[in-house]
Amino acid sequence: MEQKNNNFLVGMTAFGAIFFIFGFATTFIIQLSAPVMAVFNLTEFQAQLLTSAFFIAYPIMSVPTGWLVNRIGYKYTVVAGLILMALGSLVFIPAARIPSYPLFLMATFILATGVVFLQVSANPYVTALGSESSASSRLNLTQALNSIATMVAPWLIATVIFKGLDLPIDATDAEKLTYGLEVAGRIPFPFIAMALVVILVAVVLLMMKLPAIISEKSEKGGSIYKYPHVLLGAFAIFCYVGAEAGNAGLMTNYLKSGSLGLSAEMAATYAAIYWGGAMVGRFFGSIMFSDIAGGKKYLYAVLVLGLAFISGAFVTDWNWTIGAVFTGASAVNFVFMLIGKGQPARTLAVFALVAGMLGLVTTFTQGQVALWTVVSIGLFNSIMFPNIFALAVKDLKGGELASASGIINALILGGAVIPPLMGSIADNYGYTYAYVVPALCYLYIFFYAAKGSLIRTASAE
């Protein structure tokens, strides 16, 4: 029993670090669209192609990665992913020095391929590492670690890239060029640091002995395409990732525009709070979907609210008022978590409805109301990916589990499709109307939680 517990802790620790790494890389690329827009003087649609270059790797590489996991195992697939991430990070250096937007897109795709290797390996590994009944709790815990990284990434963009820089609305072409070159010169440092970190983690992982998760061959004729809940769940992932990436990718420039008119540094800071909401909500989810006794759940929830207060103040240069507002929004999130009663499908349905309403309020309001509704969407995005994934792979084992993970992760393609669509709407009709698109995505996720995840009977062959 002690050996089993040790194996569990080793596996969860190693893959907790993996979730942190690919969370940071994903969010950094999404939020990089605003600096890239400044460097190359792009439209919003063109800038969102950077996000597309990242997420297009999922449909291309997810299914082959699922096959690779079955051939060489989770550990070596992860190591290969880390090496690809390091390579992609290093390509960003000449991309920024030249600067060259096509090279930015190439570096993004290489980096994203490494992330796909990590994500396709990590989610089923964490699901299979313990009992099925607590799979949602484990996934929410690792996703919370992922979200610490997603909060750090936009904060790093605000402090390392945008700090002290501001471009007047009526800037001349010469001022725009100078501003763009200054932004470009600041981009390589985070990628150099990322390359060094992932190489170090790859070396450490090679020396670790991880508990084995056996990837059994599926029974003959056991194609996952006969499971409706898997395919419907894959499309729910399409909608979720597209909505989350679209909200975040446009947020910095949205908060700089219109009635808000924030500086690039401050707008990127609020993007960090958006991702911090996902962190807080996932910690709540890890608590509520676990077997922790009722009284202790409330104690841990109070500690998470303390984390929200401190993190919200920290990323805004210790603005305690903003920290308090973020804590209030987090408390409301926990109330909706209680309405979910610790049931993954019920909680997913509630959160999808609230996120959709917040998107619509963002569209039809302005000022501080719109600022906090768009930022608060992050709180309700929080439990969506792990809960959709857990519902979509429920009852699958061995080879079916790895194959389903490949299909589900392929539909992360939503992150390549929806942000450019929102960017096009923003270019032509204004940023606020772009937020109707994610609201529609959340409506489908509500359907999946309430009905689609229950359609799980295999079709007759």
The answer to whether the beta carbons of residues 288 and 342 sit under 8 Å apart is yes
Query: Quick check: pTM over 0.75?
Result: yes
Q: Can you give the pLDDT at residue 360? A: 94
Q: Can you give the pLDDT at residue 296? A: 86
The closest of 33, 407, 445 to 247, measured between CA atoms, is 33
- Which segments in the chain show pLDDT lower than 50? 1, 216-221, 459-461
Q: Can you give the pLDDT at residue 234? A: 93
Give the whole-angstrom CA distance, residue 431 versus residue 417. 17
Give the whole-angstrom CA distance, residue 402 versus residue 393. 9
Q: Can you give the pLDDT at residue 136? A: 64
Give the whole-angstrom CA distance, residue 355 versus residue 377. 5
Structure-token match 């449909």, residue found: 59
Q: Can you give the pLDDT at residue 100? A: 93
The answer to whether the beta carbons of residues 181 and 316 sit under 8 Å apart is no
Q: Can you give the pLDDT at residue 217? A: 47
The closest of 277, 287, 282, 332 to 308, measured between CA atoms, is 277
Q: Can you give the pLDDT at residue 459? A: 46
Domains assigned to the chain: 2-213+222-454 (1.20.1250.20)
Q: Can you give the pLDDT at residue 339? A: 94
The closest of 275, 342, 350 to 137, measured between CA atoms, is 342
Structure-token match 């995505």, residue found: 441
Q: Can you give the pLDDT at residue 221? A: 39
